[in-house]
Amino acid sequence: MSNHMRLLEMYPGFRAKLFALEAQTAKYRSSGLKVGDLPIATIKVVVNVVYKIESQNVSDAQIRSQIAALNKDFRATNPDRSKTPAPFKGLVTDPRISFVLDRITRTKTTRASFTDDNGVKKTSTGGIAPVDTKKFLNLWVCALGGGLLGYAQFPGGPKSTDGVVLHYRAFGTSGTAQSPYDKGRSATHEIGHYLNLRHIWGDTPDCSGSDNVADTPNAAGPNFGKPKFPSVTCNNGPNGDMFVNYMDYVDDAAMFMFTTQQVARMRATLDGPRRSLW
């Protein structure tokens, strides 16, 4: 969110584009479409590996493990969705989005780690520029400091920084991926943002914020680790927070689902500012 706020300050048109997308999303939602009838949206992915030491230079196999994980989570075929608490099960929805790896770039850097300032996306700051962000989802894999697992750019922002950055320790399901972030779900979460999803608690430290999604319960703040059901906040009992949602902050092994209305938001984005991706 700090990266997002900085971009909103730097690019005055970004805020207006997000407002326009919100209006388009509302229209899309009220159009009576059935998410089950939507065509599969296939997104081509470029993975930009930026490494200082060889152990950060993640393997092709690890990159493929990340793409495979995305193809389960964004088609609701992840086997662990069966662990979704019963009251939320009916809301588990297939976004009908798939990912294909187009190419991998590898860049050696002198920087020990990056922050959320988009430095990894430019040669002059030790990173590498993206490949055509209108056509490709660019992922950068690098060392991130400050406990950051990843960050994403919302739709409508500058092209030169568009995409998702992931810590090499929270990428894919093999190699350098480290428990509890070894099921590829940092990428699932960040691509959710890239497709205009907000955090499940609405990014306020109380009950006043909203994720602009009607079928996720209002929640006070993030959940961490592997919470026990139910986690009640904001008078949302008996079922409590939907902490099993990919847009919460729980461990990879505790998140399993997107809801119908979250899928509608992502698909409105794919029919709007991100239409050229597929």
Gap between the Cα atoms of 149 and 121, Å rounded: 16
> Is 190 among the catalytic positions?
yes
Annotate 91-121 with DSSP letters as a single string: T-----EEEEEEEEEEEE-S-S-B-SSSGGG
Gap between the Cα atoms of 139 and 143, Å rounded: 13
Active-site position among 9, 22, 54, 190:
190
CB 188 within 8 A of CB 199: no
Q: b/e map of 138-150 (b: 16 or more CB within 10 Å)?
A: bbbbbbbeeebbb
Gap between the Cα atoms of 115 and 145, Å rounded: 6
Q: So which residues are the catalytic ones?
A: 190
